[in-house]
A and B are shown apart, each in its own frame.
Chain A
Amino acid sequence: MDFLAADQWAGYVAAVYGISAVALGAAILVTLLAWRRAKARLAALEQRP
């Protein structure tokens, strides 16, 4: 694919794509982990009595 033979700005493009991937990935992770935690906590509470 052409994009691998990039020009002088390749570093900048990579930085932008990398940072965006990290940020969005972190958002997804944090959201899903919070959901799992809330679900587990509720299940534990509902089992108590």
Chain B
Amino acid sequence: MSPFVTLLLRDLKLAARGGGSAALALAFFALVATLVPLGVGADLNLLARVAGGVLWVGAVLAALLSLDRLFQGDFEDGSLELIACSPLPLELAALAKILAHWLATGLALTLLSPLLALMFNLPGDATLMLFVSLLVGTPAVSAVGAIGASLTLSLKRGGLILPLIILPLLVPAVIFGAGAVSAVLDGIPGGGALGLLAAFSGASVLLSPFAAAACVRLNLSS
């Protein structure tokens, strides 16, 4: 098995075993989806109109929860140094970790989203667009999040700065993702927004391993 796949599977196993980060993210996502109607009222028309935005923001925040642990665990027990010294380039290792994070968090949130969309009275075609947009967009959250995680690696209370750093950077994903859902709701094709989202996601996934690897190297060379 290639080192990439080994690392990927190892991270997935760790995610499944320790802390249940996927379960926590799903629960948080569902809680947000429950709290918002309690806050804004049960007017089903209003809820359908805000569903895209609310669920997108909820998904981003839920995925954020486990991001500060992305490199932290390996950093603390020394595995990160071994990974950096291994024949696998650090950029690919970062990509493997991003992929593992997405599979454990982003993908799970995407799969839950149609159920939550139901609570918001979102019509079928918009729900489909929500699902697709989350599927396409959550990798960007993991990718950009990895940059934040690697920047705040050595910090004890780094978890507080992480959202501050990466949430502005994720604005395009939220805008395009929720925009695609709104478009379908208004009867306009959401393809344009979806395309922009895909471009943003693709670029993030392609470029962020380089930034993340640079930051990891920075933190290891002390």
Consider the complex of A and B and state whether they touch directly, i.e. have CB atoms less than 8 Å apart. no
